[in-house]
Copies of this chain bind each other. A is one copy, B any other.
Amino acid sequence: MNIFEKCESNVRSYCRNFPTIFHRAKGSIVYDESGQEYIDFFAGAGALNYGHNHDYIKNQIISYLNADGISHGLDMYTSAKEKFLAKFNETVLTAKQLDYRIQFCGPTGTNAVEAALKLARKVKKNPGIFSFMGAYHGMTLGSLAITANKGIKAGTIGTLNNVTFMPYPYGFMESFDTIKYIDSVLNDVNSGIEKPAAIIFETVQAEGGVIVAPIEWMQRLRKLCDEHDILLICDDIQVGCGRTGAFFSFERAGIVPDMVILSKSISGYGLPMSLLLIKPELDIWEPGEHNGTFRGNQLAFIGATAALEYRESSSLELDVKEKELFLKEFLNQEIAAISENIIIRGIGMIWGIDVQNFGGKNFAKSITSRCFELGLIVETAGRNDTVIKILPPLVIDMFTLQKGCLILKQAFKDCLQN
């Protein structure tokens, strides 16, 4: 591992928790250079909903490469983009009766978040944004300003403005009506807090510790935005693309955000790609007003189209339902049963085991380390990394899912004995 420690910046992180060199992967299994295999309950932090190197998608990409398809096309028109647009429009937007314009942003989630903020500010001529306590939206300056984690802002001195963090229904903030709090702040001429251009939210705060927003809360948030003429932006980067069951995570509340951000699993193959969906009347961008060299990552378009084709031909949403039930039952019966101080939260195929009051950060870390020794990749999230986050590929087979869960259970057993 010498070359990494010698040459790579100290900023590297996940590699510290999974100290081996990974080499090959297929579906839900990753192999390191020594051939050791690991079940993947992390799935590229949500970028691998279709598993590693999905064969159907892979074949489309290789064919495209072989045919010398455009590999880099800025934002020019290409055959690859044409096919993706047609497929996404047909199988996602039209199918769900959603009317959005599609913006291809620089191929990272944070870039699409930045585009959304700029557009909201431009539309409303108002710099204010409300974000939520617990929120995670990315690491570039605009996105970082709306990210709640205070531990990662040493390099931002005095540059994060115009953002107000509102209570999300979690912890003490769950003990009162958070929507009424926001409404009260907006209605009170003397609250000191100006009406924002937009409110940005996650339906499940994934990095925040797998906190699932109640359906009624989301519906009231949508209503509040309508009443106050505020744009509602859904950051669906980590829990979109089927993670909670439906393609979009907000579908369960029957609401329609004004903008939606997709990234991570959209390319189907872990390739960099992001989309910003914009209600047509808000699409007041000037040509080139937001741009970027890689906003046309063509291989990702190929992957994304193939992934949508795969969705059509499979029963993925139903499968997720089934695995959700299994995970929910397993975690509640096998893990929560260990102590009333362990809290289970989740939906679809994103679940958190909150051990904040059961050993905290060190305990969570010892569990994930033990899992790795036993052949399972799983990470922590949330306040002080006290939530073990279960995030398998959606396509994982039941046998491997169960096997991974048993390793998790074993890790708890082992760590509690020490």
Contact = CB atoms under 8 A, between A and B. Distances in A.
Contacts of A1: 77
Interface string A356-391: 000000000000000000000000001110000000
Interface string A145-189: 111111111111111011111010001110110001100110011
Contacts of A70: 22-25, 30, 52
Contact of A271 (B3, B68, B74, B297): B297
Contacts of A382: 190
Oligomer: number of copies: 4
11 contacts: A1-B77, A7-B85, A18-B77, A23-B79, A44-B74, A52-B70, A52-B72, A61-B65, A121-B155, A159-B162, A189-B383
Contacts of A110: 106, 111, 140, 292
B66 A62 contact: yes
Contacts of A72: 44, 47-48, 52, 269-271
A160 B135 CA distance: 22
Given A141-B141, A172-B181, 7 more contacts: A4-B81, A9-B101, A9-B102, A11-B103, A11-B291, A52-B72, A149-B192
Nearest to A154: B122
A107 interface: yes
Contacts of A20: 77
A278 B138 contact: no
A352 interface: no
B103 A8 contact: yes
Contact of A131 (B48, B118, B192, B237): B192
Interface residues of A, number: 155
A71 B154 contact: no
A33 interface: yes
Contacts of A135: 192
Most buried by B among A11, A101, A153: A11
A194 to B, nearest CB: 6
A404 interface: no
Interface string A214-243: 000000000000000000000001000000
Contacts of A132: 192
A178 B272 CA distance: 40
Given A11-B289, A271-B72, A172 B189 contact: no
Contacts of A23: 69-70, 78-79
B189 A149 contact: yes
Contact of A75 (B15, B103, B114, B285): B15
Contacts of A145: 141, 159
A142 B115 CA distance: 13
Contacts of A287: 10-13, 16
A120 to B, nearest CB: 8
B16 A119 contact: no
B270 A272 contact: no
A264 interface: yes
Contact of A176 (B15, B16, B30, B175): B175
Contact of A21 (B79, B167, B276): B79
A283 interface: yes
Contacts of A71: 25, 52-53, 269-271
A10 B285 contact: yes
Contacts of A289: 11, 152, 154-155
Interface in A27-80: 30, 33, 44-48, 52-53, 58, 61-62, 65-79
A231 to B, nearest CB: 12
